Chain A
């Protein structure tokens, strides 16, 4: 067994775990954060994406012990109380989801994409979310949602600055 200390959505957890425990299972079963979904389990679908040390990571492709001492953001950490994060608002308004299985990961990939590139082109959006598979939407409304989120976040930044 190994003891790890991780900060998830601002809360510090100290847990004793088996080294073979995958990060996604740690988040879902030990911490009861069910937003990271288990899809292909093979690193292809991206449904388990969370933000690890500021970078999007497939949480089924790493062991929880690798996250010792690290800060993690999951979809549960985005909204502030009842107020959705601007990316979540944009996905809602643009119908950027149907069944919702890929959505938490899609939202977090968007979070990383817009942090790196606040004003992406449609092509850059498609490349930015290419690690996340959606089998419902055909991606058109997701791309619209990401573009709308970019506008919202740029607006929020501008009003912060003024």
Chain B
């Protein structure tokens, strides 16, 4: 399997990256870790004429605190995120999602920015980013802008990034006290993509009432989505096993799961409440709920 020929660019600054993207428009693709793009090019599902390798742009892989929030550079690898003490302290669900991606060799090279921009509806990082309410920082010619994660995914393998913009970082707000998160997925192999996946973040008040919750689903439509009905069933209510089971049952509402070789739509609708229920229970326990 050999990709079609392309011109290789290795710019060393964001300004140069934007120049090349502006010049070549839709014929250019950004290459980071390459763990999604290279296989897609080998299968000739994509044959970009220009490859813009951004890994020589310095400092795009940094993970650092930023006024109470956490900034995760787009080139931070899955492995770096999985093992980052900062990530584990600030938003362990992101490290947990990282540890569930593919295998240790892929995690050495794959990047969070690449994973988000590939926008695979079965991928793991988009779920954690949605659950955490992240903002994505996109750099363009004139300036940077922050895109709320809820507006980032625009369809199957499609994002809100403009052709001459690149993702430079995620900004993750500090989760409130008494909050917990979890990422879980069902896949055929431990290294595989999710048939159905879920990430949740849940916050409680001192009495154990749910003050905020975000539930993100993979494998339930053309892009990662929030389970709004399940969230509504939890918000404001005291977190109990029964409330979690009732909320999880609503997870397939307003979803449009595919039928494919990995499972039928009906199977995914059946499995989603199970995965969401387990993720909610785990998150509630981590938030300190006594179930």
Q: Can you list 25 contacts pairing A with B, beta carbon distance less than 8 Å? A: A2-B8, A18-B5, A19-B5, A19-B7, A19-B51, A20-B3, A20-B5, A22-B38, A42-B1, A42-B39, A46-B103, A58-B105, A61-B34, A61-B106, A61-B109, A65-B8, A66-B31, A66-B53, A68-B10, A127-B104, A130-B190, A130-B191, A131-B102, A131-B191, A132-B105
Q: Which single residue of chain A is at the shortest CB-CB distance from B189?
A: A44
Chain B: number of interface residues, binned into ranges: 20 to 34
Residues of A within 8 A of B4 (CB): 20
- The yes or no answer to A151 lying at the interface (CB within 8 A) is no
| Measured CA separation A78–B109 after assembly (Å) | 22
Q: Which single residue of chain B is at the shortest CB-CB distance from A50?
A: B105
Q: Select which of A63, A68, A131 is within 8 A of B105 by beta carbon.
A: A131
Q: Which single residue of chain A is at the shortest CB-CB distance from B104?
A: A131
The reply to whether A62 and B109 form a contact with Cβ atoms under 8 Å apart is: yes
Q: Which single residue of chain A is at the shortest CB-CB distance from B191?
A: A130
Q: Which single residue of chain B is at the shortest CB-CB distance from A65?
A: B8
| Contact code string A75-91 (vs B, CB < 8 Å = 1, else 0) | 00000000000000000
* CB-CB under 8 A for A19 and B103, given A61-B34, A61-B109, A130-B190: no
| Contact code string B34-45 (vs A, CB < 8 Å = 1, else 0) | 110011001000
| Contact code string A13-37 (vs B, CB < 8 Å = 1, else 0) | 0000011101000000000000000
| Measured CA separation A20–B4 after assembly (Å) | 7
Residues of A within 8 A of B2 (CB): 20, 22
Residues of A within 8 A of B190 (CB): 130
> Which one of B42, B102, B108, B191 has the greatest number of beta carbons of chain A within 10 Å?
B108
The reply to whether B1 and A63 form a contact with Cβ atoms under 8 Å apart is: no
- The yes or no answer to B6 lying at the interface (CB within 8 A) is yes
Q: Which single residue of chain B is at the shortest CB-CB distance from A126?
A: B190
| Measured CA separation A68–B53 after assembly (Å) | 12
| Measured CA separation A161–B3 after assembly (Å) | 49
- The yes or no answer to A118 lying at the interface (CB within 8 A) is no
Q: With A2-B8, A130-B103 given, name 15 new contacts (CB 8 A).
A: A19-B5, A41-B1, A43-B35, A43-B39, A43-B106, A46-B105, A49-B105, A56-B108, A61-B106, A61-B109, A62-B109, A63-B38, A65-B53, A66-B55, A109-B104
The reply to whether A19 and B8 form a contact with Cβ atoms under 8 Å apart is: yes
Query: B285 to chain A: closest CB distance in Å?
Result: 22
The reply to whether A57 and B6 form a contact with Cβ atoms under 8 Å apart is: no
Q: Which single residue of chain A is at the shortest CB-CB distance from B83?
A: A116
The reply to whether B39 and A56 form a contact with Cβ atoms under 8 Å apart is: no
- The yes or no answer to A96 lying at the interface (CB within 8 A) is no
Q: How many A-B residue pairs have CB under 8 A?
A: 80
Residues of A within 8 A of B102 (CB): 43, 131
- The yes or no answer to A144 lying at the interface (CB within 8 A) is no
- The yes or no answer to A128 lying at the interface (CB within 8 A) is yes
Residues of B within 8 A of A (CB): 1-8, 10, 31, 34-35, 38-39, 42, 51, 53, 55, 79, 102-106, 108-109, 190-191
Residues of A within 8 A of B3 (CB): 20
Q: Which single residue of chain A is at the shortest CB-CB distance from B34?
A: A62
> Which one of B1, B42, B104 has the greatest number of beta carbons of chain A within 10 Å?
B104
| Measured CA separation A49–B35 after assembly (Å) | 13
| Measured CA separation A8–B109 after assembly (Å) | 19
Residues of A within 8 A of B8 (CB): 2, 19, 63, 65
- The yes or no answer to A152 lying at the interface (CB within 8 A) is no
Q: Which single residue of chain B is at the shortest CB-CB distance from A130?
A: B103
> Which one of A18, A49, A131, A132 has the greatest number of beta carbons of chain B within 10 Å?
A131
The reply to whether B109 and A57 form a contact with Cβ atoms under 8 Å apart is: yes
The reply to whether B191 and A44 form a contact with Cβ atoms under 8 Å apart is: yes
| Measured CA separation A19–B8 after assembly (Å) | 6
| Measured CA separation A60–B35 after assembly (Å) | 10
Q: Which single residue of chain A is at the shortest CB-CB distance from B192?
A: A44
Residues of B within 8 A of A132 (CB): 105
